[in-house]
Every structure is written in structure tokens, then in C-alpha cells.
């Protein structure tokens, strides 16, 4: 769908389109469980993933990229379901291991295309240099992820807005998914 920015309902239509794309993911109990784990600062993994997903979705639409894969993989990029501060990996780190875990969990629960797989697996670029993105969409999500992480840690006002956005999605879920 293509909406004109001059349309008063543009943001609402864009948001509704986004919700339709992630509908099967966001109504899944395992995805909602991400809200139980802290990501950056006081932001939950679910809120962080929604922030990354929706931000990257809007940019991908503007750039005429595969915004569906961006929205879906953006939501799944940190789908690992554990407290990363407590889990230790022998010979590795969370930043290297969690994309693989997120991809395994995503593939076990959902249908994932090749681009979504690359986005999830390579989202730690350039922090993990061996994970060079294959697609523009993968690079986009990776960069948006870093931006969102910085904003979550440094901007107290953004944390409030993120929480509000999460609550808006919960309200929309109640209406859309009945």
C-alpha cells in the first residue's frame, strides 16, 4: 500500500499496515514473553524489538525496500528469551551467540524467508565484524538496532514514548485480534 504523507490518517494507516504484517508474531505467547526480559536500561526486549521493527519498517518503506521482511525480522532479531546478563557462554559472548539463538527459535515457531534469516543472523554488524549483511534490509535493521539501543540508554523521554507505543500496540491487539 502507498499512502500520501499529506493524508491526515497516514500515520494511523501506516501503523495498521505494520500491525497486519506482524500480526502472527505479536499474538504469539513466546514473543510476548520477551516483555519479561530487560534489554537496554529499563526497556524490555519486546519493547526494544518493536522499536527496532517499526522504525526500520518506516525507513524501508521510504527506501522502497522489502519492508515486510524488515518488520518481521526486526521483531524477531532478539528472540532469545533469557536474561543475557546472567547467561554465560563458554568461549563466546551473548553478542555473538544470541543472533543464532534468535534465528533457531524463530525458525522453530514461524516461517522465515532467506532475507529475514539474514537480518536476524547479521543484526550485530558491525559490533561482530564477521557477520557482514547480505541484503540492504539486513544492514538497515542492524543500524536501526544500534540507534535504538543508544536512544534507550541515553534518552529518558524516549523510554516513556516507547512504553506508550507498546501500550498502543496492546490496545490495537485487543481490537484487531479478537
> What is the pLDDT, as a whole number, of residue 104?
92
The CA–CA distances, whole Å, from 1 to 39, 68, 172 equal 33, 11, 20
pLDDT at 176: 47
pLDDT of residue 45: 87
Instruction: Print pLDDT tens along the chain (178 aa).
Output: 554 555 658 888 898 999 999 999 988 999 988 888 777 667 788 988 999 999 999 999 999 999 999 999 999 998 887 665 566 656 655 556 778 888 999 999 999 999 999 999 997 877 666 778 899 999 999 999 998 888 877 776 655 565 666 666 666 655 544 4
Pairwise CA distance, residues 139 & 118, whole Å: 10
Q: Which residues pair with 44 in a beta bridge?
A: 38
Distance CA 161, CA 168 (A): 10
pTM of the predicted protein model: 0.81
Domains of the chain in sequence order: 11-176 (1.10.3210)
CA separation for the pair 12, 161 (Å, rounded): 16
| 3-class DSSP state of 108 | helix
Amino acid at each position: 500500500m502507498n499512502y500520501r504523507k499529506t493524508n491526515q490518517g497516514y500515520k494511523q494507516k501506516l501503523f495498521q499496515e505494520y500491525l497486519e504484517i506482524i500480526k502472527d508474531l505479536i499474538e504469539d505467547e513466546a514473543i510476548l514473553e520477551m516483555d519479561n526480559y530487560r534489554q537496554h536500561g529499563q526497556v524490555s526486549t519486546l519493547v526494544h524489538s518493536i522499536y527496532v521493527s517499526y522504525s526500520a519498517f518506516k525507513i524501508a518503506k521510504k527506501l522502497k525496500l522489502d519492508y515486510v521482511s524488515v518488520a518481521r525480522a526486526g521483531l524477531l532479531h532478539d528472540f532469545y528469551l533469557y536474561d543475557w546478563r546472567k547467561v554465560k557462554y563458554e568461549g563466546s559472548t551473548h553478542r555473538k551467540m544470541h543472533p543464532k539463538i534468535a534465528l533457531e527459535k524463530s525458525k522453530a515457531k514461524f516461517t522465515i524467508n532467506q532475507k529475514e534469516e539474514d537480518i536476524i543472523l547479521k543484526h550485530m554488524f558491525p559490533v561482530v565484524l564477521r557477520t557482514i549483511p547480505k541484503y540492504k534490509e539486513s544492514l538497515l535493521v542492524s543500524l536501526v538496532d544500534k540507534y535504538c539501543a543508544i536512544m534507550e540508554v541515553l534518552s529518558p523521554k524516549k523510554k516513556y514514548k516507547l512504553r506508550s507505543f507498546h501500550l498502543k500496540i496492546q490496545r490495537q491487539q485487543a481490537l484487531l485480534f479478537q
